[in-house]
Amino acid sequence: MSAIPPAPPRKTLVNPELRRRGIYILPNLLTTAALFAGFYAIVQAMNGRFEHSAVAIFIAMVLDGLDGRVARMTNTQSAFGAEYDSLSDMVSFGAAPALVVYEWALKGLGKFGWVAAFIYCAGAALRLARFNTNIGVVDKRYFQGLPSPAAAALIAGLIWVLIDLGFTGEEVRWAASVLTIFAGVTMVSNIKYWSGKDINLKKSVPFMVVGAIVLGFALISTYPPGVLFALFLVYAASGYVMTAWRWRGRRNK
């Protein structure tokens, strides 16, 4: 009587979605670089190199703008990337600007100084939390409240341009505190800001648009601290101007 051959091992079915699940390298690499720039800004502030801190925050802002665009263009969006990007933003555009401006100018104001820095930091956290929960609900053409990268650029631009002009943090600490509180409060406001997400990079554009971009870079290169600070100051004010314009239009009807 021949022996009965053993039964073949049973194959376990694995969900192909689970098998393919992983971490996309390119967009998360850019997010990691932005996180490093924010951390670097904090470290340089601890060493008293505030100009380096300001530049690092601007670099983090550029990298943060790239990671989302790259993820959408390469179809590498993921829930992990979205959460990682939000945590990176909290460090680069929430904690870093608050700590840098506190070390540079607000430290001499005592309790009012660290309260002003905390208002900014809390505003950035609330802004990011609201943005994450309102995805798919609000109009994508507009941000609800000042975006945290733009708020960070306001703080970093102020520090950069005033250092370049020879001012110390103690000389402008009240102006720095007002701008810090303004940025923090505006982040959690309901004021609308143009997001630029309706721009399609895959579509062709007139040649004049390319020329305008070249002129923009040339203008920034003439005096980066002043031009960048002025641009983001105008952007921060644009939300209030548009809100006043809409309110006036509704009132005149």
Give 197-230 pLDDT, tens digit per residue.
Answer: 666 666 776 778 778 888 888 888 899 999 999 9
Does the residue 112 lie in any domain?
Answer: yes
Nearest by Cα to 190 from 232, 139, 233, 121: 139
How confident is the model over 17-36, as pLDDT tens digits?
444 556 678 888 999 999 99
Does the residue 14 lie in any domain?
Answer: no
Are 127 and 158 contacting, i.e. CB atoms less than 8 angstroms apart?
no
Which residue range(s) make up the domain with 45?
23-252
Does the residue 5 lie in any domain?
Answer: no
Does the residue 8 lie in any domain?
Answer: no
Q: How many domains does the chain have?
A: 1
Provide the 10 A C-beta neighbour count for residue 192: 18
Residues in the chain: 253
- Of 15-19, 183-187, 190-194, 249-253, the one with minimum mean pLDDT is 15-19
pLDDT number for residue 101:
97
Exposure pattern of 127-140 as b/e (b: 16+ CB <10 Å)?
Answer: bbeebeeeeeeeee
Does the residue 149 lie in any domain?
Answer: yes
d(CA 88, CA 134) in angstroms, rounded, equals: 19
d(CA 195, CA 235) in angstroms, rounded, equals: 11
Are 126 and 186 contacting, i.e. CB atoms less than 8 angstroms apart?
no
Look up residue 32 and give its amino acid: T
Does the residue 192 lie in any domain?
Answer: yes
In this structure, what CATH number is given to the domain that contains residue 79?
1.20.120.1760
Does the residue 7 lie in any domain?
Answer: no
Q: Which residues contact 25 (CB under 8 A, 6 or more apart)?
A: none
Does the residue 13 lie in any domain?
Answer: no
d(CA 130, CA 98) in angstroms, rounded, equals: 20
d(CA 21, CA 18) in angstroms, rounded, equals: 5
DSSP string, 142-193: EEES--HHHHHHHHHHHHHHHHHTT--TGGGHHHHHHHHHHHHHHHTS--EE
Q: Is the CA virtual torsion 147, 149, 240, 194 positive or negative?
A: negative
Would the pLDDT of 8 be above 60?
no
The residue among 202 and 141 whose pLDDT is bigger is 141
